[in-house]
């Protein structure tokens, strides 16, 4: 069994993941708009190239490559240069095309992988697959096959998914969480009249992982994971309460 780790290069996150993702796994990153899903994905690709010598692909179903160049450049990651050097390929496509391509022999994606020696991929975002069918069971089959095709190509993937709810949980999870190997959640949390960001590794197949809900920031160097939240109940609701202990502590100090 292969327990080789694929480091994200994000310090606190690799630690939470017990060293990184497992090789050839599909890893879901879910969050509301602005939580940093795409940034996390780009950082995974960037660190793969500069730290692990692993070329990467970005498959996008909406944004233009220019947008990724700009967004990455804001963190000092020169995606355009990487692409020229054959270390990165941003593929703008559709769910329809990409799933047929990846599942066929000698398709475009497979060709890029062979040419580049790509080992990592970000799919931004899986939410666009919902346009393929109204039937949740069909959708699950499509997603399952797509994910397995990525694995067969020897890729470790980050799959982003958009959460339609700004604070707290979506009323109902679709099936993707059951199909992936790991499941990371990015969440907004309102604490002391400000919005902070929280990161949680909910699930990780075949590996131990941190159970803490950690704070993180998107800084000029990308995602930076910080310590866990303290003294709060109900963080995942997005609107936590200060705990009784904190109350008592405050009471005593006064």
Please give the residues from 142 up to 161 whose contact with its own copies meets the rule CB under 8 A.
144
Q: At 55, is the secondary structure helix, strand, or coil?
A: coil
Shortest distance (Å) from residue 250 CB to its own copies: 5
Q: Indicate if the alpha-carbon torsion angle 37, 72, 205, 18 is positive or negative.
A: negative
- Give the sign of the dihedral formed by CA 35, CA 38, CA 40, CA 43: negative
Binding residue (CB under 8 A) for its own copies from 15, 23, 103, 237: 237
Please state, in angstroms and rounded to a whole number, the distance separating the CA atoms of residues 123 and 215. Answer: 24
- Fill in the per-residue mask, 205 to 234: x = in contact with its own copies (CB under 8 A), - = not in contact: xxxx--xxx-----xx-------xxx-xxx
Of residues 65 through 124, those in contact with its own copies by CB under 8 A are 70-71, 73-74
**Residues of span 2-41 touching its own copies by CB under 8 A:** 3, 32-34
Binding region for its own copies (CB under 8 A) out of 12-20, 46-54, 98-106, 238-246: 238-246
- Counting Cβ atoms within 10 Å, is residue 27 exposed (0-12), middle (13-18) or buried (19+)? buried
Please report how close the Cβ of residue 88 comes to its own copies at its closest, in angstroms: 17
Residue choice 88, 112, 190, 199 for contact with its own copies (CB under 8 A): 190
- Kindly determine how many residues on this chain lie close enough to bind its own copies according to the rule CB under 8 A: 78
Which tokens is 22 given? 């497992």
Distance CA 25, CA 158 (A): 9
β-pair partners for 29 = 160, 184
Measured from the CB of residue 55, what is the shortest distance to its own copies in angstroms?
Answer: 23
Cβ distance to its own copies smaller for residue 49 or 147: 147
């Amino acid at each position: 069994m292969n327990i080789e780790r694929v480091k994200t290069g994000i310090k606190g996150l690799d630690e939470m993941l017990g060293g990184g993702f497992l090789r050839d796994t599909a890893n879901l990153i879910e969050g509301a708009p602005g939580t940093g899903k795409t940034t996390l994905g780009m950082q995974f690709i960037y660190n793969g190239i500069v730290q692990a010598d692993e070329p990467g692909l970005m498959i996008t179903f909406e944004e233009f490559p220019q947008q990724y160049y700009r967004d990455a450049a804001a963190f000092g990651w020169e995606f355009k240069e990487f692409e020229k050097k054959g270390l990165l390929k941003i593929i703008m496509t559709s769910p329809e095309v990409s799933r047929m391509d990846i599942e066929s022999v000698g398709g475009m994606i497979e060709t890029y992988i062979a040419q580049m020696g790509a080992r990592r991929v970000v799919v931004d975002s899986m939410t666009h697959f919902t346009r393929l069918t109204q039937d949740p069971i069909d959708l699950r089959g499509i997603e399952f096959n797509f994910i397995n095709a990525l694995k067969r190509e020897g890729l470790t993937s980050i799959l982003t998914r958009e959460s339609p709810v700004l604070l707290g949980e979506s009323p109902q999870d679709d099936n993707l969480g059951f199909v992936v190997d790991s499941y990371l959640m990015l969440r907004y949390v309102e604490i002391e009249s400000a919005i902070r960001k929280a990161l949680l590794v909910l699930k990780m197949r075949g590996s131990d992982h941190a159970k803490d809900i950690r704070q993180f920031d998107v800084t000029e160097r990308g995602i930076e994971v910080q310590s866990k939240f303290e003294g709060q109940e109900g963080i995942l609701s997005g609107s936590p309460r200060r705990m009784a202990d904190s109350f008592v502590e405050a009471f005593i100090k006064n």
